[in-house]
Amino acid sequence: MMKTARHTVLILLILAAAGSLTLLGGCGTEPAPADPLAINFAHLEHLTESVTVNGRDCDIVHIYANAPSYDWTGDDDEGNACVDDVARAARLYLREYEATGDTVYAARAKRMLQFVLAMQTDTGHFANFIWPDRTLNLDGRTSKPSLNFWAARAMHALALGQRVLADQDPEFVREIDTALAATIENLTVEFIHRRSAIGIDAGSDIVALFTLALLERRKIATSAAEDSLIVHLAERIHENTFAGSDAFPYRVHLSWRNVWHQWGMQQVEALAYAGQAMNRPEWIASAREEAENFQRMLLANNGPIEFKIEDGDTVDVGWYSQIAYGTNSLAACQRALFEITGDEAFAAGCGLAVGWLTGLNPAGATVYDPGTGRVFDGINSRTEINRNSGAESTIEGLLALQELRNIPGARQAALATRVDAGVGEAARFVTPDDRVVTLASVADIWRLTIADRSETESTNQVNDQRK
């Protein structure tokens, strides 16, 4: 497949930020770096193409790339690129620019935000997909302009761009502000004034993304109207919980109606940050309860990834396929609780979640290749890996790696090795710096403890002598 010349030029940037290596390159032909958590943009660059959409010069990310060739692949029913993926990629590059100050990332982010803006219609809503001829898919179920996932991701990326690019490109930021104003008006109408079917039936997973976008805007300036919208949306998340029992699934913030799924499970992240911003400790407490119990159970058991609640019980519990989208969502929730509480247990939880990429998964397989930047599309069973590497998997995997930044101990936890658990323990992990992270259910409450390996071994020896 033909690519533009810039995709064949390898740019190797050794960045000191967070002590990690970041690679920005072309086709992923460079040798594997020593750091298995090195952020490598090469495969994402391979998926990227410069195009013109609605008169805007911009960059898109092709949705699929199947092994072994990893050539671009589209979808006959949807299109070949979408806001869902490009907005994610824009956030990835914006976060990298904010962390490193390298304007290469800012430039890439702006071209992707140009695509997002090109997909906004006169109604203020966003279409999701484009067809190969660069026209908008305005009618497809997963593309029709509406307040759906792609609108939330568009708003989240634009809000971050508005903040991060404020000093670099004020004119572009003003254009972003105009676009966001239209989306916020639609949110206010559908969720508060009209209380339409769209607003009433929207899942908490989508609501969480809108909440995070509004919270990003709030870092620039506060608005009584937008604060009111944040409160309304966060209350929706808070109310849509299943208290469970002292056993599985504990307290969990459902994704939609009576369904929970791991992909996009950012309800805890949004609720915790909203609680901090709006001084609502009950929201933080609710988020913390899930993060400390249900999410630790997920980390200890490598799942599940989905279930339904019927008659007060869990049904249709599913364990596969596991994907990077779920991994990043879980890591982001754990990071949020660490930032708010300072509890190192959440730092370790964030690391263990990201460790899914490096082998802490049911297959014990490496899902992320730091030499090429590819993130495999999923784990289908203990023995089957989907080795395709499309946009969503690649971007979500790289976003997960970014979650490790500036969190003491998180990188070590992500590189941990799982070892046999002792009596009464659900899982034990040993980090490269010889610390032991233990996840244990004690009296139906999940605990995460961290200790030096020597201390743990001494305790075990004493316990063995007492038997």
Tens of pLDDT, residue by residue over 276-286, are: 999 999 999 99
Contact predicate 248/216, CB 8 Å: no
Tens of pLDDT, residue by residue over 5-18, are: 333 223 333 233 33
pLDDT of residue 19: 38
Whether 326 and 427 map to the same domain: the answer is no
Contact predicate 27/48, CB 8 Å: no
Whether 343 and 451 map to the same domain: the answer is no
Say what the pTM is.
Answer: 0.90
Whether 459 and 346 map to the same domain: the answer is no
pLDDT of residue 20: 43
Nearest to 414 by CA among 460, 370, 458: 370
Contact predicate 266/204, CB 8 Å: no
pLDDT of residue 421: 58
Residue type, 149: F
Tens of pLDDT, residue by residue over 420-440, are: 755 446 799 999 999 999 999
Whether 279 and 332 map to the same domain: the answer is yes
Does residue 147 surpass a pLDDT of 90? yes
Does residue 24 surpass a pLDDT of 90? no
Whether 386 and 449 map to the same domain: the answer is no
Whether 105 and 230 map to the same domain: the answer is yes
Whether 314 and 443 map to the same domain: the answer is no
**Count: domains in the chain:** 2
Whether 395 and 455 map to the same domain: the answer is no
pLDDT of residue 458: 52
> How deeply is 301 buried, as exposed, middle or buried, from its count of CB atoms within 10 A (0-12, 13-18, 19+)?
middle
CATH code for the domain of 342: 1.50.10.10
Long-range contacts of 255-258 (CB under 8 A, 24+ apart): 255/203, 255/204, 255/205, 256/203, 256/204, 256/205, 257/203, 258/308, 258/309, 258/310
Whether 351 and 465 map to the same domain: the answer is no
Does residue 73 surpass a pLDDT of 50? yes
Tens of pLDDT, residue by residue over 107-129, are: 999 999 999 999 999 999 999 99
Q: Which domain holds residue 436?
A: 422-467
Whether 411 and 437 map to the same domain: the answer is no
> How deeply is 341 buried, as exposed, middle or buried, from its count of CB atoms within 10 A (0-12, 13-18, 19+)?
middle
Whether 235 and 116 map to the same domain: the answer is yes
Sign of CA dihedral 442, 450, 414, 382: negative
Contact predicate 393/67, CB 8 Å: no
Tens of pLDDT, residue by residue over 293-342, are: 999 999 999 999 999 998 888 889 999 999 999 999 999 999 999 999 99
Contact predicate 124/189, CB 8 Å: no
Taking residues 374-395, report their average pLDDT: 97
Whether 360 and 335 map to the same domain: the answer is yes
Nearest to 288 by CA among 305, 261, 303, 267: 267
- Of 403, 421, 439, the residue at which a domain comes to its end is 421
Q: How confident is the model at residue 463 (pLDDT cuts 50, 70, 90)?
A: very low
Q: For residues 73 and 65, what is the distance between their CA atoms, to the nearest angstrom?
A: 6
